[in-house]
Amino acid sequence: MDEDIFKGLLSSSKIFKNKEVLRPSYVPNFLPHREKQIKELASILVPALRGETPSNVFIYGKTGTGKTAVATFTGKKLREKGEEMNIPIHFIYINCEIVDTQYRILQNITNHFIKGWNERIPFTGWPTDEVYSRLIKSIDKARGVTIIVLDEVDKVKGDEVLYNLSRINNDLKEGKASVIGISNDLKFTEFLDPRVKSSLGEENLVFPPYTADELQDILNERVKIAFKENTVEESVIALCAAKAAQEHGDARRALDLLRVSAEIAERLGDDVVKEKHVRLAEDKIELDRITEIIRTLPIQTKIVLMAGVIGIEAYEELNTGDLYNIYRDICREGGYNVLTQRRIADIISELDMMGILNARVISKGRYGRTRQIEISMPSKIKEILERDSSIPRMKNYAPKQSKLDYIG
């Protein structure tokens, strides 16, 4: 195939002016409806500009409520003010969903101060106490105040690194350090070592979800710089905001929905983003979400889900008893251990919580109670599972309907 497959695709976009401003990593110069939180965080961090140690702070709030953006924005402004006042401010951001061990966190923070690649701490191989010692020396040498942001801090494995960072100022002589922990989980600190909890949680900020009107304001600000003029219908912005507001006021969801809607419009050759593109985008995003969830499920959970899909196709109404019988047949076909009915009931509940299926309790009279199973996008889920080589192929399989369908 010698022809240029990209011919005709490289021309500039008819819709986008700067697509990157719709991505979560972009931090704008103005954060609508987060002025109060910015002011609160600034008041906590301002001692750094006096050469003092700021309090450690935990920031809580659901996904897409502006936690990371506010921390990054405030840190940037703090660093700029520090340069203006000739006070060294070092702002270090760590995503603990990616960097989640004590060694890697300490290594990442330390390497921020080390410019020469040959002198940097390797990914593995050093004793942890030696990495910590290098970190202390680096912060002292840099002087000023180091602000360490641990985003998704609840993903950190173990309390030890949080304990070490919470007491780091005891070991510093010339420099100072402060930690900002960011979490989606309001109950996160309940499981921390009490010593860590008291020293790291000196200040707490809780971010409320955005309302539909607030999300609309956020989208309107981004539309100005993301899109060419008159390429997005006004109703599209309202629709994206309304749909994201239904999911705990998630600004990331709203921005993703708007971006994917525009990408779909562009692929279809349309010059304007319309409501129909939003509905197509919603389906695509949901399918992508479900695909990623299913891909990472344990094998037994995948088998339960496949049993559900087969049952939905076979019966007018699928209950837990019929699902269990199909599950058992798939396990036997593939040579997998058959779990108990109670364990399968737990797995069904887990899938229900993920939003992949819906299990509604109904009464069967003298047979007791059961749960009626409904699955979102069953044909799409079947396609995903059939691409998984670990799931046994059930060709020409016809499940039998059980007489008694109660699962404990």
Gap between the Cα atoms of 135 and 138, Å rounded: 5
Tell me: do 186 and 221 sit in the same domain: no
* pLDDT confidence of residue 236: 97
* pLDDT confidence of residue 54: 96
* Position 2 in a domain: no
The band of 407, judged by pLDDT with boundaries at 50, 70 and 90, is very low
Tell me: do 189 and 226 sit in the same domain: no
For 164-173, 353-362, 364-373, which range has the lowest pLDDT when averaged over its residues? 364-373
* CA dist list (Å): 243 to 57, 86, 165, 173, 183: 32, 46, 40, 51, 23
Tell me: do 178 and 111 sit in the same domain: yes
Tell me: do 62 and 164 sit in the same domain: yes
pLDDT at residue 355 is higher than 70: yes
pLDDT single digits (tens) 193-239:
888 877 777 899 999 999 999 999 999 999 999 999 999 999 999 99
The band of 150, judged by pLDDT with boundaries at 50, 70 and 90, is very high
* pLDDT confidence of residue 32: 95
pLDDT at residue 334 is higher than 50: yes
* Position 393 in a domain: no
For 60-69, 160-169, 357-366, which range has the lowest pLDDT when averaged over its residues? 357-366
For 67-76, 123-132, 143-152, 354-363, which range has the lowest pLDDT when averaged over its residues? 354-363
* pLDDT confidence of residue 276: 97
Gap between the Cα atoms of 377 and 241, Å rounded: 24
Q: Between 359 and 4, whose confidence is greater?
A: 359
Among residues 230, 263, 294, the one where a domain terminates is 294
Q: Give phi and psi for 125, each to the nearest 5.
A: 115, -25
Tell me: do 263 and 185 sit in the same domain: no
pLDDT at residue 37 is higher than 80: yes
Tell me: do 216 and 239 sit in the same domain: yes
* Position 4 in a domain: no
355: domain range? 297-386
The band of 367, judged by pLDDT with boundaries at 50, 70 and 90, is low
Among residues 206, 236, 271, the one where a domain terminates is 206
pLDDT at residue 405 is higher than 50: no
* pLDDT confidence of residue 59: 95
Number of domains in the chain: 3
Gap between the Cα atoms of 85 and 79, Å rounded: 10
Gap between the Cα atoms of 127 and 107, Å rounded: 11
Neighbours of 392 (CB within 10 A): 17
Tell me: do 165 and 140 sit in the same domain: yes
Tell me: do 302 and 370 sit in the same domain: yes
Among residues 171, 206, 241, the one where a domain terminates is 206
The answer to whether the predicted template modeling score (pTM) of the entire model surpasses 0.85 is no
Q: Percent of the chain having pLDDT more than 70?
A: 94
Tell me: do 240 and 285 sit in the same domain: yes
* Position 25 in a domain: no
- Residue in 343, 352, 306 with CA at minimum distance from that of residue 327: 306
Gap between the Cα atoms of 295 and 158, Å rounded: 26
* Position 391 in a domain: no
* Position 73 in a domain: yes
Q: Percent of the chain having pLDDT more than 90?
A: 74
**What is the DSSP secondary structure assignment for residue 384, as one 8-state letter?**
H
The band of 23, judged by pLDDT with boundaries at 50, 70 and 90, is very high
Mean per-residue pLDDT for 80-102?
Answer: 96
**What is the DSSP secondary structure assignment for residue 375, as one 8-state letter?**
E
* Position 19 in a domain: no
CATH number at residue 356: 1.10.10.10
CATH number at residue 255: 1.10.8.60
pLDDT at residue 402 is higher than 80: no
The band of 364, judged by pLDDT with boundaries at 50, 70 and 90, is low
* Position 270 in a domain: yes
Strand 57-60 vs strand 176-183: parallel, antiparallel, or unpaired? parallel
CATH number at residue 190: 3.40.50.300
Tell me: do 74 and 176 sit in the same domain: yes
Mean per-residue pLDDT for 142-150?
Answer: 96
Tell me: do 38 and 159 sit in the same domain: yes
Mean per-residue pLDDT for 276-304?
Answer: 93
* pLDDT confidence of residue 79: 96
Mean per-residue pLDDT for 282-306?
Answer: 93
* C-alpha dihedral sign at 323, 328, 331, 333: negative
Gap between the Cα atoms of 363 and 355, Å rounded: 23
Q: Which long-range contacts (CB under 8 A, 24 or more apart) does 287-290 make?
A: 287/377, 287/380, 290/356, 290/376, 290/377, 290/380, 290/381, 290/384
Tell me: do 167 and 256 sit in the same domain: no
